[in-house]
Structure 1
Amino acid sequence: MKRNSKPRTYSAKHAQKLADERKKEGHYKTIFSTEMKKIIKEKMIKFQWSPEQIVGWCKLKTIQMASHERIYQYVWQDKKQGGLLYKELGTGQKNIKKVWK
């Protein structure tokens, strides 16, 4: 409520106007380019980095990179297409087994 309020009062119309303006500004999605795929493959295969490490390194070097979640999506998509990039992940997917007593 604070960010949509006037200095001393709250107005629903004013709040909606501010929310609509913020929505117009939008969130631009990062385009997942072939250059990003090349960096991901290199860092995962050569250095065995996790997606979080890749994103952190790219931020330090000011290289545009998708989020770590998008990198995981790319890895699992690669697996579905017969790729082996998923094997470079440290832990892989966890299998949860229910134990009945």
Structure 2
Amino acid sequence: MIGIMRNYTQLTEEERYQIYEGITLGLTQTEIADDLDVNKSTISRELKRNTGLRGYRPRQAQILSDSRKLNHSSQRINKQQWDRVEDLIGKDWSPEQTSSWLALNEDIKISHEWIYLHIYQDKKIGGDLHEHLRCQKKRRKR
């Protein structure tokens, strides 16, 4: 009987050694996943990301995982950058113009879609950024 899978958490170093042991014993990815009580796609993804020329090595996989965590930024766009976006939108620039100009001149990469989402979020909390958009389109309610 298959148990209920645990909520998503990142694999631990111990689990990576268990994956390695399962591989050396000739277990399938599904069997390894069942033993660890994770989804089989977790095992597949782990092996795809962390198998090198010498095969899957758990210590190396942990180092790679730790490296990815360190390089991940929790907040991609900071308050100062959003203030700059709001300043340009306040000057009646379109989100497309704002996005392009910031990328070329200030090395700030924010898509125009994110800027639109920011504007509509601002509108929800009573802000007036939406009044600077050229086209006042009605948005469908969800």
Q: TM-score normalised to the size of structure 1? A: 0.59
Is the aligned partner of 1:37 residue 2:75?
no
Q: Distance in 2 between matches of 1:56 and 1:41?
A: 16
Higher relative contact order (CA 8 A, sep 6+): 1
Per the alignment, do residues 16 and 63 of structure 1 end up closer, same or farther by CA in structure 2, a change over 3 Å counting? closer
Q: Distance in 2 between matches of 1:55 and 1:39?
A: 10
Instruction: State the Cα distance separating 1:84 from its structure 2 match.
Output: 4.1
Aligned to 1:99: none
Per the alignment, do residues 8 and 92 of structure 1 end up closer, same or farther by CA in structure 2, a change over 3 Å counting? farther
Aligned to 1:23: 69
**Which range is displaced more, 3-12 or 13-22?**
3-12
Total equivalences in the alignment: 91
Aligned to 1:95: 140
Bigger proportion of residues as helix: 2
Give the letter for the 2:63 counterpart.
Answer: K
Per the alignment, do residues 2 and 80 of structure 1 end up closer, same or farther by CA in structure 2, a change over 3 Å counting? closer
| Larger radius of gyration between Structure 1 and Structure 2 | 2
Q: Structure 1 vs Structure 2: percent identity of aligned residues?
A: 32
RMSD of the alignment, in Å? 3.1
Gaps of 5+ in 2: 1-46
* Contact 2:103–2:110 (8 Å) recurs in 1: no
* Contact 2:85–2:98 (8 Å) recurs in 1: no
Q: Distance in 1 between matches of 2:137 and 2:60?
A: 48
Gaps of 5+ in 1: 97-101
Q: Distance in 1 between matches of 2:53 and 2:134?
A: 50
